[in-house]
Chains A and B, each alone.
Chain A
Amino acid sequence: MSKIAFDRLSFLVVDDNLHMRRLVRSLLHGFGSRQVYEAEDGAAGLEGVESYNPDILITDWAMPIFDGLELVQMIRNPDSCSNAYIPIVMLTGHSEKEKVIQARNYGVTEFLCKPISAKSLYDRIFNIVMNPRPYIKTAGFFGPDRRRFDNPNYAGIERRATKEVGNEAQDDIDKMFG
């Protein structure tokens, strides 16, 4: 049994909406974190990842010009980004299952649908800290292992090497949606 020392965790919040940034900042301060950086678009977010070197990135998806998904794509490139292993929470109003799958295929660690609450944000951060997943690099993918739950009886094709998520990871997503 253990709990998180939030005062040792730093965050970067990327969202073009000032109100949403203030909401997330307040929640993180409430948890106990004091190092919360902000960026208002994907380009500033990428710069912030390099310069602040935060422990966790929380980003919106829909932003003008350079969106959250493009930001994830730029970060999940160990050859060009110095912080390619940073855990990423995609915080978005998109709630469709295909969007969750798309985000995971780009290397998002956790997906959080708006409206945001203290509990839902805490749960994602808790999962990142307590249940870290190894990263996988193949020709078409770099990011956290998309298979959240190991099935020791699985005897099918190894799909981790493919860009698209396999059925076994699809099962994980179904579990996430209840």
Chain B
Amino acid sequence: MKVKITEEKGIEWHEPDNSLANQVVIPGTSEIDYEAIERAETALNNLSASFEDWMQEECENLIKARDILHQEGPNAETLERLFHVSHDIKGQSATLGYPLAAGPANSLCKLLYEIPRPERGPVDLIDHHVDAICAVVREKIQDINHQTSIEISRRLTIVTDDFLRQENDIYSRKMEIQSESNDAQE
């Protein structure tokens, strides 16, 4: 590949000559190809018969990760495993037709990602998140206005934010005490 390189104010500008536009653009047609978008939506729609099974598989993976947490206790590894599964659910649930699973999945991701000390992971609160996500799928809740699911998600978010605030305060105080103790020893 040929690359045109120029330099200006200490910056190298690289312009590869194999611009995709030269290779794949059909001139003289409409700019946004709505037919291509429609075809892709149809392709997605054709897959949708499998979405319920896919979400059930995601929930099974989530429950497996939760079972390992119960067996081994909260630590960086068990929380990371749960994070990966809940992050997938957060990203996919709306496309797969279960948009209200995304709320508790998002709150669970935040809890697992932001907790300052994984060994203090709140197993009960994690369980409530897992149960809420799986309930949406088990009960086939696909209506985005389902009030019970919305309320459960809202409360889980509040409890999670509150828990993280307290944990961060405790952690900050512990760090301050440790720092003062180190200063005193020196």
Contact = CB atoms under 8 A, between A and B. Distances in A.
Given A8-B24, A161-B9, A23 B47 contact: yes
Interface stretch (B84-92, B122-130, B137-145, B163-171): B84-92
Contact of B15 (A92, A114, A118, A135): A135
A31 B19 contact: no
A64 B82 CA distance: 12
Most buried by A among B9, B38, B57, B87: B87
**Interface of chain A, helix or strand or loop or mixed?**
mixed
For chain A, give the interface size range: 35 or more
B186 interface: no
A138 B10 contact: yes
Contact of A134 (B13, B41, B92): B13
A41 to B, nearest CB: 12
Contact of A19 (B25, B38, B58): B58
Contacts, number: 153
B31 A160 contact: no
Interface in B96-127: 96, 99, 102, 109
Interface string B17-46: 001110111111111110011111111101
Contact of A9 (B24, B38, B39, B46): B24
B47 A22 contact: yes
Interface residues of B, number: 52
Given A26-B47, A30-B42, A114-B95, A1 B30 contact: yes
Most buried by A among B33, B54, B84, B91: B91
A151 B9 CA distance: 18
Nearest to A121: B40
A3 B29 contact: yes
Interface string A122-154: 100010111010111110000000000000000
A55 B19 CA distance: 10
A161 B31 contact: no
A164 to B, nearest CB: 15
A136 B27 CA distance: 29
Contacts of A28: 40
Given A19-B92, A62-B84, A5 B40 contact: no
B25 A27 contact: no
Interface string A4-45: 111011000000110110110011111110000000000000
Interface of B: 1, 3, 9-16, 19-21, 23-33, 36-44, 46-47, 54, 57-58, 83-84, 87-88, 90-96, 99, 102, 109
